[in-house]
């Protein structure tokens, strides 16, 4: 592989890794898991680098999402998040809302969670979200609708925030 | 906060805990290059293997790859060490039934997407992939306590709209029924259960060597199902609906004619054939934390508290144990220095078998027996290659009371490539040293 490819890859890692890890954290709910997901995705991206060098982010993002869903499926039934809110400091309304959102996200099925994160955090279009997840646009719509309904049910404190995305 | 987008950013931007240092970009690149080369090498090996098979040596190759019994031992028991087999190892479709299995686990397999299940023979230690006909996916595959049968959900065509949805994962193929694979005869019994659109399924458990219980509803839309009920399937005939059995959010374990079920953090021990009336909680409500693998022998209750952070999906948990006393709440005490990955089962009254992380040995786990009366812990086995397949295998629980048997852990082709590579390097260094010595001797 060419030295230019390597330089481009290293520049991409430095620039994109923090954002990818934040997104992976929203998917997994765990920082260690997020770092593992991103690291594994970046290693896998090297093999396809010459094809994706112009715009590597969608490729890496897709690996992260698919790996997360695969890992979740393998561990399903062995470990699961608690259903209620963790007892933590909550000094600001924003902080309360973020904690409520964290607990509610943890209660979503992984694909629903991925749709919510890609649509409303990454700000992808429905088409881009569908491509990232390898599913139909109609499925993105239904998963987003059901995911929002689930969030609203699990975290009533979010109702004000969720109304603005309907 | 204005909207969901802001709330998500607020959550993602919160200060993260101090973690391990991130890998350097250059290191990631090097690992990626090595990974690509290994994949290319693997593809070349696969092509060579195919050509070799075409030349008539396939049978010989497969014969070498099958992991042979160790030391001729035919003693029945659980293997003291297990790993994952070479992805090119044969399956039951070509090599025949493997017999009662002591361990059921998953691994990657050449020519198969996703995970494939393999069994380790209880009598010989032979590893063999199980060709489970019409298996819907990797979730909810259950080994009977005697290791004789494997129960799993099956897929097939539906007459109505195919929602491609099952349970929470949404990644299994459409489920239309259940099957029992006999590890001795190699035959499979199927039972069709489908509604028009397939099934919404929950976990499968064995309550004894012959009876499998499961819960499912018939899908009405991609997200909802009707007629959710508990069914039971005995050694003969077809599955029967258990009309008044309590439906549960999760069935955590089953053993010795009873199973533990969970509904909203309240756990109950149900005898086989229990009704809602008889399902009054035997087990008091446990502390309100995230649990997995909750189980009881009737005297003690044990579970793994998932952690370390309460919102974590991953990581090791702590083994917690309490004593059941009628009319009293359970106090769950932590077993010190045990980073539990999962509970395997009960190896005797008050004696628990757990899989635990090995300190200082990555990708490996230890099997330990824990005497809950005395707190004494004994190492009885190891689980290797967890980097190649995570999680904890299923063990034939009838064998938990028998002594573990020493068995070989199979070699992976990676291991052979590693050995060949080191051998080639050593030969090259020797040859280089010899040439250098000759030049100097001549000079």
A29·B312 Cβ contact <8 A: yes
B28·A39 Cβ contact <8 A: yes
pLDDT value for B308:
47
Q: What is the Cα–Cα distance from B443 to B431, expressed in whole angstroms?
A: 18
pLDDT value for B34:
87
Contact A80, A90 (CB under 8 A): no
Nearest CA in chain A to B344: A78
B25-52 and B58-65 helices, crossing angle to 10°: 130
Q: What is the Cα–Cα distance from B345 to B395, expressed in whole angstroms?
A: 8
B431-443 pLDDT per residue, tens: 888 888 777 665 4
Q: What is the 3-state secondary structure (H, E, C) of chain B?
A: CCCHHHHHHHHHCCCCCCCCCCCCHHHHHHHHHHHHHHHHHHHHHHHHHHHHHHHHHHHHHHHHHCECCCCCCCCCCCECEECCCCCCCCEHHHHCCCCCEEEEEEECCCCCCCCEEEEEECCCCCEEECCCCCECCCCCCEECCCCCEEEEEEECCCCCCCCCCCCCCCCCCCEEEEEEEECCCCCEEEEECCCCCCEEEEEEEECCCCCEEEEEEEECCCCCEEEEEEEEECCCCCCEEECCCCCCCEEEEEECCEEEEEECCEEEEEECCCCCHHHCCCCCCCCCCCEEEEEECCCEEEEEEECCCCCCCCCCEEEEEEECCCCCCCCCEEEEEEEEEEEEEEEECCEEEEEEECCCCCCCEEEEEEECCCCCEEEEEEECCCCCCCCCCEECHHHHHCCCECCCCCCCHHHHHHHHHHHHHHHHHHHHHHHHHHHHHHC
A74·B35 Cβ contact <8 A: no
pLDDT value for B263:
58
Residue A58 distance to chain B (closest CA, Å): 18
Q: What is the 3-state secondary structure (H, E, C) of B162-212?
A: CCCCCCCCCCCCCEEEEEEEECCCCCEEEEECCCCCCEEEEEEEECCCCCE
Q: What is the Cα–Cα distance from B341 to B364, expressed in whole angstroms?
A: 11
Is the ipTM reported for this complex over the cut 0.90?
A: no
Q: What is the Cα–Cα distance from B343 to B254, expressed in whole angstroms?
A: 12
Q: What is the CA radius of gyration of chain A?
A: 17
Residue B33 distance to chain A (closest CA, Å): 7
Interval B333-352 mean pLDDT: 84
B314 contacts in A (CB within 8 Å)? 28, 30, 32-33, 75, 79
Please name which of A72, A102, A106 lies closest in space to residue A90, comparing C-alpha atoms.
Answer: A102
Q: Choosing among A77, A103, A143, which should be mutated to test the B contact, i.e. which has the most B CBs within 10 A?
A: A77
Nearest CA in chain A to B9: A121
Q: Choosing among A4, A32, A42, A64, which should be mutated to test the B contact, i.e. which has the most B CBs within 10 A?
A: A32
Contact B64, B49 (CB under 8 A): no
The torsion angle over the Cα atoms of residues A3, A6, A8 and A10, rounded to 10 degrees, is -140
A81·B26 Cβ contact <8 A: no
Interval B110-123 mean pLDDT: 87
A101·B33 Cβ contact <8 A: no
B134-151 pLDDT per residue, tens: 998 887 899 999 999 999
pLDDT value for B362:
67
B197-223 pLDDT per residue, tens: 888 887 788 888 888 888 888 887 766
Contact of A59 with chain B, judged by CB distance below 8 Å, is answered with: no
> Angle CA(B182)–CA(B248)–CA(B391) in degrees, nearest 5?
55
Of A25, A46, A73, the CB nearest to B171: A73
Average pLDDT, chain B: 77
Cis? peptide before B308, omega within 30° of 0: yes
Q: What is the Cα–Cα distance from B193 to B198, expressed in whole angstroms?
A: 8
Residue B14 distance to chain A (closest CA, Å): 9
- By DSSP bridging, strand B101-107 and strand B225-233 are unpaired
User: C-alpha B341: how far from its chain's center?
Assistant: 12
For residue B407, pLDDT over 70 is answered with yes
Contact of A81 with chain B, judged by CB distance below 8 Å, is answered with: yes
- Range among A92-106, B96-110, B222-236 with highest mean pLDDT value: B96-110
B16·A110 Cβ contact <8 A: no
Q: What is the CA radius of gyration of chain B?
A: 25
Paired residues of B306 in beta bridges: B317
Please name which of A139, A124, A114 lies closest in space to residue A57, comparing C-alpha atoms.
Answer: A124
Residue A161 distance to chain B (closest CA, Å): 4
pLDDT value for A94:
57
B14 contacts in A (CB within 8 Å)? 98
Contact B136, B153 (CB under 8 A): yes
Q: How far is CA B161 from CA A137, B135, B193, B225, B313, in A?
A: 18, 20, 16, 13, 33
Q: What is the largest CA-CA distance in chain B?
A: 97
Interval B284-312 mean pLDDT: 66
pTM, whole model, 2 decimals?
0.57
Of A47, A82, A117, the CB nearest to B290: A82
Q: Which long-range contacts (CB under 8 A, 24 or more apart) does B45-50 make?
A: B45/B413, B46/B110, B49/B88
Of B2, B9, B342, the CB nearest to A164: B2
3-state secondary structure of A2: coil
Residue of higher predicted confidence among B359 and B118 = B118
Contact of A62 with chain B, judged by CB distance below 8 Å, is answered with: no
A98-136 pLDDT per residue, tens: 778 888 888 888 888 999 999 989 888 888 888 888 888
Of B1, B223, B310, the CB nearest to A94: B1
Of A71, A83, A165, the CB nearest to B4: A165
Q: Which residues of chain A have pLDDT under 50?
A: 77-91, 166
Q: Would you call A101 exposed, middle or buried from its count of C-beta atoms within 10 A (0-12, 13-18, 19+)?
A: buried
Of B20, B29, B310, the CB nearest to A10: B29
Nearest CA in chain B to A26: B12
Contact of A77 with chain B, judged by CB distance below 8 Å, is answered with: yes
């Amino acid at each position: 592989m060419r030295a230019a490819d390597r330089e481009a890859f290293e520049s991409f890692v430095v620039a994109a890794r923090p954002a990818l890890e934040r997104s992976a954290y929203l998917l997994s709910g765990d920082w260690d898991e997020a770092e593992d997901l991103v690291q594994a995705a970046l290693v896998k991206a090297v093999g396809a680098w010459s094809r994706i060098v112009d715009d590597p982010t969608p490729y890496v993002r897709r690996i992260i999402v698919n790996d997360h869903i695969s890992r979740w499926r393998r561990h399903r039934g062995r470990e699961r998040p608690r259903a209620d809110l963790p007892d933590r400091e909550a000094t600001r309304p924003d902080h309360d809302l973020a904690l409520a959102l964290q607990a509610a996200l943890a209660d979503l099925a992984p694909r629903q969670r991925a749709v919510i994160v890609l649509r409303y955090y990454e700000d992808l279009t429905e088409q881009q979200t569908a491509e990232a997840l390898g599913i139909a646009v109609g499925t993105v719509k239904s998963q987003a609708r059901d995911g929002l309904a689930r969030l609203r049910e699990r975290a009533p404190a979010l109702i004000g925030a969720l109304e603005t995305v309907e | 906060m204005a909207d969901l987008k802001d709330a998500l950013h607020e959550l993602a931007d919160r200060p993260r805990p101090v973690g391990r240092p991130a890998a350097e970009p250059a290191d990631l690149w090097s690992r990626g290059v090595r990974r690509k080369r290994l994949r290319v090498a693997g593809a070349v090996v696969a092509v060579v293997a195919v050509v070799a098979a075409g030349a008539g040596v396939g049978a010989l190759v497969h014969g070498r790859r099958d992991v042979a019994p160790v030391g001729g031992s035919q003693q029945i028991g659980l293997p003291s060490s297990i790993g994952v087999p070479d992805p090119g190892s044969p399956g039951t479709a070509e090599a025949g039934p493997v017999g009662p299995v002591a361990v059921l686990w998953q691994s990657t397999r050449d020519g198969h997407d996703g995970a494939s299940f393999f069994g380790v023979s209880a009598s010989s230690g032979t590893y063999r992939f199980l060709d489970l006909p019409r298996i819907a996916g990797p979730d909810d595959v259950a080994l009977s306590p005697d290791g004789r049968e494997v129960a799993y959900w099956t897929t097939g065509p539906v007459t109505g709209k195919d929602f491609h949805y099952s349970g929470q994962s949404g990644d299994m193929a459409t489920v239309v029924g259940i099957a029992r694979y006999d590890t001795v005869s190699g035959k499979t019994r199927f039972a069709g259960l489908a509604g028009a659109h397939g099934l919404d399924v929950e976990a499968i458990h064995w309550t004894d060597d012959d009876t499998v219980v499961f819960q499912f509803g018939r899908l009405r839309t991609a997200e909802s199902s009707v007629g959710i009920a508990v069914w039971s399937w005995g050694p003969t005939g077809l599955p029967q609906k258990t009309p008044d059995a309590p439906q549960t959010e999760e069935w955590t374990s089953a053993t010795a004619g009873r199973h533990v079920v969970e509904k909203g953090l309240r756990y109950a021990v149900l005898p086989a054939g229990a009704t809602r009336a008889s399902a009054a909680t035997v087990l008091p409500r446990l502390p309100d934390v995230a649990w997995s693998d909750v189980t009881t022998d009737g005297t003690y209750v044990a579970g793994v508290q998932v952690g370390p952070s309460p919102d974590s999906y991953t990581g090791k948990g702590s083994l917690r144990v309490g004593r059941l006393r009628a009319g009293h709440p359970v106090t769950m005490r932590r077993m010190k220095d045990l980073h539990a990955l999962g509970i395997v089962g009960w190896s005797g009254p008050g004696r628990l078998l757990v899989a635990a992380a090995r300190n200082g040995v990555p990708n490996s786990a230890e099997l330990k027996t824990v005497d809950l009366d005395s707190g004494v812990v004994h190492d009885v086995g190891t689980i290797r290659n967890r980097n190649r397949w995570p999680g904890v295998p299923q063990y034939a629980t009838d064998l938990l009371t028998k002594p573990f048997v020493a068995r070989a852990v199979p070699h992976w082709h990676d291991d052979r490539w590693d050995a060949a590579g080191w051998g080639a390097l050593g030969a090259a260094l020797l040859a280089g040293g010899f040439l250098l010595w000759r030049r100097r001797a001549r000079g």
